[in-house]
Amino acid sequence: MRAILALIAMLLLVLPRPAVAQSILRDAETEAFFRDISRDLVIAAGLEPRNVQFVLVGDPSINAFVTGGQNVFIHSGLIVAADNVNELQGVIAHEIGHIAAGHNVRFGEGAGPASKISLLSLVGAAAAMAMGAGEAGMAILGLGQTAAMGRFLAFTRDQESRTDQAGAVFLSKAGISGRGSIEFFRKLQGLEFRLAIPQNNEYARTHPLSGTRVNNLLAVYERDPAWNTPPDKALQARFERIKGKLIGFVEEPRIVMQRYPEGTNTPAALYARAYAWHRSGYPDLATAEAARLVASGPNDPYFLELQGQILLESGKVDESLPVLRQAVARAPNEPMILTLLGHALVASEDSGLQAEAEPLLRKAVTLDRENPFTWYQLGVIYDRRGDKPRAALAAAERFSLEGNAMGAMMNARMARAGLPAGTPDYIRADDITLVAGDALELQQRKKKR
């Protein structure tokens, strides 16, 4: 039991917060950008690009991590802190290194031996950290025996150092300069100085000090043929757009206006102000910024998507429809844009438009089954049509994605009761019933402990 508690304490210390405890930010343009800037790195690592998923997490901290197989989670704070696409690619190369090395699978190699040394001081540290007192937890650890923790942290530092080197190899194979990686580590080093993190002792850290990482990598990068290769201009322009859009969405409007003042009409600035005005409840100002954005790129599907979204969410459903139809015409395989047009058509409550919405939404779930809102919109269409079994199945899909096992179970059973046996929809309802049942059983077992 004490060994288990020790392991729990170590997990509290070294693992990132689960993404489900934070907000996942979905954006068609950003996800396409992640795929494009990482494709050559993924291939260099010997992985299949379509199997590596990038997830944007709404969190202001400068962080990225991998979990759940080949999923890379990138915090919004990291993108805001980065100055160019090359810095972001450096971080991605490192995270891909973790995936290629199977570090999620190999976690037990470090945790297992360390957890066999029972340290009651770790239990107190876990309690302190669980209450948000991270430094107090570290102090408790310092007062207790540290053999197990030292062994475990040495393992994670070694993993990080090896992954830094792997990231350098992937960047080289992809013909991408390591300057961005070095620049970003220097940013982190500056943050360590500002936080007064001691620079002479790595023993209590999961990662090597940023200065150590710079020293270890600089000579490797400087002799690489790609060292003096500048960031790709097209990707850099897209990075600046993404960053402006994100700042407009996550920062306080006052900060947005300071960074992108009126009169600055780059795509990044127009994006940022449009989102800031929209979030602040000024639809006319938001619409005006979006119109300027579209005027600068009339055929850009993402500009059109934003303009349509602002019109729709401002209650101007009819005005949003032609704009969103244009966006879909320019990007017919972007599931989130398809869903947005489907939502606008459903919101119109025009029975003639419901027929137009259904194939769009069905295509959207074919391309991306993991958007609960798409399933909700499909459920509305089926319900209005009187197709209760498929409305229930759509609800079951939505609840399953949202982690609501009871809702998924109940709706899947309703769907299965009304669907013809043996059909694909019936089989899917049966699958959801089984998975939700297992989840509910697990919840019950946890409550009894």
d(C-alpha 344, C-alpha 336), whole Å: 12
Q: Among 117, 123, 127, which Cα is nearest to 152's? A: 117
Q: What is the pLDDT of residue 20?
A: 40
pTM (2 d.p.)? 0.79
- Interval 321-329 mean pLDDT: 98
- DSSP β-ladder status, 71-75 and 64-67: antiparallel
Kindly report which listed range (181-195, 269-283, 404-418) carries the lowest average pLDDT score: 181-195
Q: What are the b/e assignments for 3-40, b being 16+ CB within 10 Å?
A: bebbbebbebbbebeebeebeebebbbbbbbbeebbeb
Q: What is the pLDDT of residue 436?
A: 94
Distance of CA 120 to the CA centre of its chain: 36
Q: What is the pLDDT of residue 390?
A: 97
Please state which CATH number belongs to domain 387-449.
1.20.58
DSSP state of 20: G
pLDDT in tens, 116-165: 332 333 333 333 333 344 444 344 344 444 444 444 333 344 567 678 88
d(C-alpha 448, C-alpha 14), whole Å: 28
Query: In what helix (H) or strand (E) does residue 54 lie, and over which residues does it extend?
Result: strand 53-58
Q: What is the pLDDT of residue 146?
A: 44
Is it the case that residue 8 has pLDDT exceeding 90?
no
Distance of CA 315 to the CA centre of its chain: 29
Q: What is the pLDDT of residue 409?
A: 95
pLDDT in tens, 75-130: 999 999 999 999 999 999 999 998 887 755 444 433 333 333 323 333 333 333 33
Q: What is the pLDDT of residue 69?
A: 77
Q: Where are the domains of the chain?
A: 2-222, 251-296, 387-449
Q: What is the pLDDT of residue 373?
A: 95
Q: What is the pLDDT of residue 179?
A: 92
- Interval 284-305 mean pLDDT: 97
Q: Among 230, 50, 12, 302, which Cα is nearest to 138's? A: 12
- Interval 37-46 mean pLDDT: 96
Q: Among 44, 83, 43, which Cα is nearest to 168's? A: 44
Residues 6+ apart with CB under 8 A from 345: 321, 353, 354, 356, 357, 360
Of the pLDDT bands very low, low, confident and very high (cuts 50, 70, 90), residue 443 is: confident
Question: Is 116 strand, coil or helix?
Answer: coil
331 or 351, greater pLDDT? 331
Amino acid letter, residue 10:
M
Contact 334, 303 (CB under 8 A): no
Mean pLDDT of the chain: 81
Residues 6+ apart with CB under 8 A from 50: none
DSSP class per residue in 291-322:
HHHHHH-TT-HHHHHHHHHHHHHTT-HHHHHH
Two tokens, residue 48: 């299949």
d(C-alpha 332, C-alpha 1), whole Å: 55
- Interval 157-186 mean pLDDT: 84
Residues 6+ apart with CB under 8 A from 240: 266, 267, 268
Q: Name, of 3-7, 18-22, 72-76, the range with top average pLDDT.
A: 72-76
Q: What is the pLDDT of residue 133?
A: 40
pLDDT in tens, 332-362: 999 999 999 999 999 997 888 989 999 999 9
Q: What is the pLDDT of residue 163?
A: 81
Q: What is the pLDDT of residue 438?
A: 92
pLDDT in tens, 193-229: 555 454 454 444 445 566 677 777 888 888 999 999 9
Q: What is the pLDDT of residue 18?
A: 40
Kindly report which listed range (12-16, 62-66, 257-261, 377-381) carries the lowest average pLDDT score: 12-16
Cα-atom radius of gyration of the chain, to the nearest Å? 25
